[in-house]
Amino acid sequence: MRKKIIGAAMLASSAAMAQNVMSPELLWSLNRVSANTLSADGKSVFYASKKYDIKTEKGKTTQYVVNIATGKKSKFASAEGKNIFQQSNNVWYASDDKFIYQSTDEGASWANIRATIADADNYKVSPNGKYIAYSKEVLVSPTLGKDLYKDLDKTTAQVYTDLNYRHWDKWSDGKFSHLFIEQIKGGAAKDLLKDLPYDCPQKPHGGAEDFVWAPNSESIVYVCKKKFGKEYALSTNTDIFLYNVKTASTSNLTEGMMGYDMNPAFSPDGRYLAFTSMKTDGFEADKNDLVILDLSNNYKRNMTGHWDETVGSFRWSNMGEEIFFIAPWKGTEQLFSVMIPGNLMAKILAPIQQITNGDFDITGIVGETKAQLILTRTDMNRATEIFAANKSDGKMAAISHENDDIYKGIRKGKVEKRYIKTTDGKEMFAWVIYPPDFNPLKKYPTLLYCQGGPQGALSQFYSYRWNFQLMAAKGYIIIAPNRRGMPGWGVKWNADISKDWGGQAMDDYLSAIDDISKEKYVDKSRLGCIGASYGGYSVFMLAGIHNNRFKTFISHCGLFDLKSWYGTTEELWFANWDIGGNYWQENTPKSYEKFNPSNFVDKWNTPIMVIQGGLDYRVPIEQGQQAFQAAQLKGIKSNFLFFPNENHWVMHAQNGILWQREFFKWLDETLK
Residues 264 and 392 in one domain: yes
Cα 542 to Cα 563: distance, rounded to the nearest angstrom: 19
Instruction: Give me the domain span that covers residue 96.
Output: 88-406
Q: Is 69 part of a structural domain of the chain?
A: no
Provide the percentage of residues in the chain whose pLDDT is more than 70: 97
| In 514-613, beta strands by DSSP E | 522-532, 552-556, 608-613
* In a shared domain, residues 459 and 387: no
Catalytic residue among 95, 533, 538, 638: 533
48 in any annotated domain? no
Helix axes 504-516, 534-543, angle to 10 degrees: 70
Q: What is the pLDDT of residue 187?
A: 87
What is the structure's pLDDT at 88? 82
Average pLDDT over residues 144-161: 98
**Which residue, of 374, 406, 438, is where some domain finishes?**
406
In a shared domain, residues 358 and 495: no
pLDDT digit string (tens) for 549-586? 999 999 999 999 999 999 999 999 999 999 999 999 99
Q: What is the CATH number of the domain that holds 576?
A: 3.40.50.1820
In a domain, 311, yes or no: yes
Q: Check pLDDT > 80 for residue 11.
A: no
d(CA 42, CA 541): 52
- Percent of all residues in the chain with a pLDDT value above 90, rounded to a whole number: 94
Residue 2 belongs to a domain: no
Minimal CA–CA distance to 63: which of 25, 90, 92? 92
Sequence-distant (≥ 6) Cβ neighbours of residue 5 within 8 angstroms? none
Residues 399 and 443 in one domain: no
Query: pLDDT value at position 347?
Result: 86
CB within 8 A of 432, min separation 6: which ones? 415, 416, 417, 418, 477, 478, 479, 480, 516
Q: Cα angle at 564 between 175 and 169, to 5 degrees?
A: 30
Query: What is the spatial distance between Cα 389 and Cα 399, in angstroms, rounded to a whole number?
Result: 10
Same domain, 386 and 416: no
360/446 same-domain check:
no
Average pLDDT of the residues in 255-277:
98
Which of 96-100, 422-426, 476-480 bottoms out in mean pLDDT, i.e. has the lowest? 96-100
Which amino acid makes up residue 387?
A: F
Checking if the pLDDT of 265 tops 60, the result is yes
Task: For residues 461 and 522, give the distance between their C-alpha atoms in angstroms, rounded to a whole number.
Answer: 24
**Separation of alpha carbons 533 and 339, rounded Å:** 38
CB of 169 closer than 8 Å to CB of 570: no
Assigned domain for 80 exists: no
**Structure confidence at residue 19 as a pLDDT band (50, 70, 90):** low
| CATH number reported for the structural domain that contains residue 145 in this entry | 2.120.10.30
pLDDT tens figures, 338-396 = 999 999 999 888 899 999 999 999 999 999 999 999 999 999 999 999 999 999 999 99
Give the angle subtended at the CA of 612 by the CAs of 615 and 205, to the nearest 5°.
40
- pLDDT of residue 2 exceeding 50: no
Query: Which of 406, 441, 471 is at the close of a domain?
Result: 406
> With helix as H, strand as E and coil as C, how does 530-554 read?
EEECHHHHHHHHHHCCCCCCCCEEE
Domain count across the chain = 2
Q: If we measure between CA atoms, which residue out of 601, 614, 602, 666 comes closest to residue 638?
A: 666
The Cα 127–Cα 116 span in angstroms is 19
One domain for residues 349 and 480: no
Q: What is the pLDDT of residue 90?
A: 87
Specify whether the CB–CB gap between 169 and 192 falls below 8 A: no
| Separation of alpha carbons 129 and 338, rounded Å | 32
What's residue 472's pLDDT? 98
Catalytic residue among 178, 546, 556, 648: 648
- From the candidates 169, 286, 500, 616, give the one annotated as an active-site residue: 616
Q: What is the pLDDT of residues 486-542, one digit of tens each?
A: 999 999 999 999 999 999 999 999 999 999 999 999 999 999 999 999 999 999 999
**Is-contact 584 601, C-beta < 8 A?**
no
What integer pLDDT is reported at residue 477 of this predicted model?
98
In whole numbers, what is the pLDDT of the chain averaged over residues? 95
503-508 long-range Cβ contacts below 8 angstroms, 24+ apart: 503/594, 503/595, 504/422, 504/423, 504/424, 505/454, 505/538, 506/538, 506/541, 506/542, 506/545, 507/422, 507/423, 507/424, 508/422, 508/423, 508/428, 508/481, 508/483, 508/484
The answer as to whether 542 is a domain residue is yes
In a shared domain, residues 389 and 446: no
* Structural domain contains residue 476: yes
Q: Would you state the torsion angle of the CA atoms of residues 547, 550, 556, 562, taken in this order, to the nearest 10 degrees?
A: 0
Q: In whole angstroms, how far apart are CA 332 and each of 290, 380, 544?
A: 20, 11, 31
Query: Does one domain contain both 416 and 402?
Result: no
pLDDT at residue 89, rounded to an integer: 77
Are 232 and 222 spatial neighbours (Cβ–Cβ below 8 Å)? no
Instruction: Give the pLDDT band of residue 181 (cuts 50, 70, 90).
Output: very high
Same domain membership, residue 488 and residue 388: no
pLDDT at residue 186 in the model: 83
- Same domain for 656 and 568, yes or no, is yes
The pLDDT tens digits of the residues spanning 630-650 come to 999 999 999 999 999 999 999
Domain final residue, candidates 354, 380, 406: 406
Nearest to 345 by CA among 292, 407, 415, 408: 292
Helix then strand count (H, E) for the chain reads 14, 38
**Cα–Cα dist 268/265, whole Å:** 9
Looking at residue 672, what is its pLDDT?
84
User: Is residue 352, in this structure, part of any structural domain at all?
Assistant: yes
User: Is 533 labeled as catalytic in the residue annotation?
Assistant: yes
Which among 455, 408, 461, 398 is positioned nearest to 433, based on CA atoms? 461
Give the Cα separation of 325 and 353 in Å (integer): 10
In the three-class reduction of DSSP (H, G, I as helix; E, B as strand; rest coil), residue 506 is classed as helix
427, burial (CB in 10 Å: exposed 0-12, middle 13-18, buried 19+): exposed
Segment 414-466, tens digit of pLDDT: 999 999 999 999 999 999 999 999 999 999 999 999 999 999 999 999 999 99
| H or E element at residue 578 | helix 572-578
Residue 210, CB-side half-sphere exposure with 13 Å CA sphere: 23
Instruction: For residues 599 and 543, give the distance between their C-alpha atoms in angstroms, rounded to a whole number.
Output: 11
**C-alpha to C-alpha distance for 360 and 374, rounded to whole angstroms:** 15
The Cα–Cα gap between 525 and 231 comes to: 50
> Please, are residues 476 and 521 in contact by the beta-carbon 8 Å criterion?
no
pLDDT tens string 294-346: 999 999 999 999 999 999 999 999 999 999 999 999 999 999 999 999 999 99
Distance CA 438, CA 522 (A): 12
416 and 474 fall within a common domain: yes
pLDDT tens-place string over residues 192-245: 999 999 999 999 999 999 999 999 999 999 999 999 999 999 999 999 999 999
